[in-house]
Amino acid sequence: MMRVCLFPGTFDPVTLGHTDIINRALPLFDKIIVGIGINPSKEPMFSAEQRMQWFRDIYKDEPKIEVHTYDGLTVNYCKTIGANFILRGIRFVSDFEYEKTIADANRTLDRSVETVFLTGEPQYTSVASTIVRDILRHHGDASPFLPGAVIKTLKGY
């Protein structure tokens, strides 16, 4: 059975913290599907198409990575794409408490999907999309937190 993993998030924008988790998860799974969640109640800074393109550029030479958008319950989307794992990155203990609550709910909804947590590398613990968006909104230099493919497209922000 293939080990298919969904890495869900908004990725607004894609950060080095996100790519750290993906890169370290690559040996663990046969396929990682990056699922860009579309939440109608959130207004993202970057379009879903832009976020998908960043992942495609970053992982153009990695056949194990796919990127899609989805809406609705993450655990239901897992069924749609045949994923039996959900990948989540943990920076702090508070992240774990929040993520464990979601993982427990997902397990209640579908026992065939297991959540896997990877802790972020220490140099990326301060990297949060919210902080990066704030830096960009105030015309600061967010490049220390971002992959090259993202930096290249940010001239207009």
68 is catalytic: no
133 is catalytic: no
Find out whether 25 and 49 touch, Cβ atoms under 8 Å.
no
Catalytic residue among 41, 60, 79, 91: 91
- 107 a known binding residue? no
- 128 a known binding residue? yes
- 127 a known binding residue? yes
Distance CA 35, CA 92 (A): 22
Spatial strand order in the sheet of 85-90: 65-70, 31-37, 4-9, 85-90, 114-119
- 19 a known binding residue? no
**What number of CA atoms fall less than 13 Å from residue 50's CA on the CB side?**
14
42 is catalytic: yes
- 99 a known binding residue? yes
91 is catalytic: yes
- 11 a known binding residue? yes
Catalytic residue among 41, 42, 111, 138: 42
Give me the active site residues, please.
18, 42, 91, 129
Q: Give binding residues for ATP as ranges.
A: 10-11, 18, 89-91, 99, 124-130
Q: Give binding residues as ranges.
A: 10-11, 18, 42, 74, 88-91, 99, 124-130
Q: Give binding residues for substrate as ranges.
A: 10, 42, 74, 88
